[in-house]
Structure 1
Amino acid sequence: MTVALSTQSNFADPDAAYRLIVEAHRGLGDEQSAALDAALVLILANHIGNLDLLREAVTLAKRSVVDGG
């Protein structure tokens, strides 16, 4: 079964999702903030549980960082 990576917002309130992530970083230093991001990525990658989707997501994320969006 092939599953496509969803790149459209799946949140009823995407702004609330964004605020939740931003607020999670409040009060953290740079290293703690980076560790939080890494932990969140690993938790969500495990939840996805699909190596092909993860590979596609990593490619898209890396492209957005290298190409500047």
Structure 2
Amino acid sequence: MSMQALNTTPNLEAPDDFYEALIEAHQGLSTEESHAFNARLVLVLANHIGSLPVLREAFEAARGS
């Protein structure tokens, strides 16, 4: 999958369902386990995106730049 630019427009079909699933994924985890889960999730999604320029755009967007 080749991506040219980061899509920052709302794109989730069911954002509330996504948020609920994310919270559920953290249920029962300690703070340390939760941080490790988040790190693994970021790496899985970064691999799915596969484009360093797009990932750099995401870093900037996440920092609020």
TM (norm. structure 1) is: 0.82
1:45 offset after TM fit, Å? Answer: 0.2
Map of 1:15 onto structure 2: 16
Which structure 1 residue ranges, 4+ long, deviate > 2 Å from structure 2? none
Residue 50 (structure 1) aligned with residue 51 (structure 2): yes
Residue 33 of structure 2 is matched in structure 1 by: 32
Q: Distance in 2 between matches of 1:39 and 1:59?
A: 20
CA RMSD of aligned residues (A): 1.8
Verify the 8 A CA contact 2:3 2:51 in the aligned structure 1: no
Q: Secondary structure at the match of 2:17?
A: helix
SS at match of 1:11: coil
Normalized against structure 2, the TM-score is what? 0.86
Segments of 5+ residues of structure 1 without an aligned counterpart are none
How many residue pairs get aligned? The number is 64
What code does the residue aligned with 1:45 have?
A: A
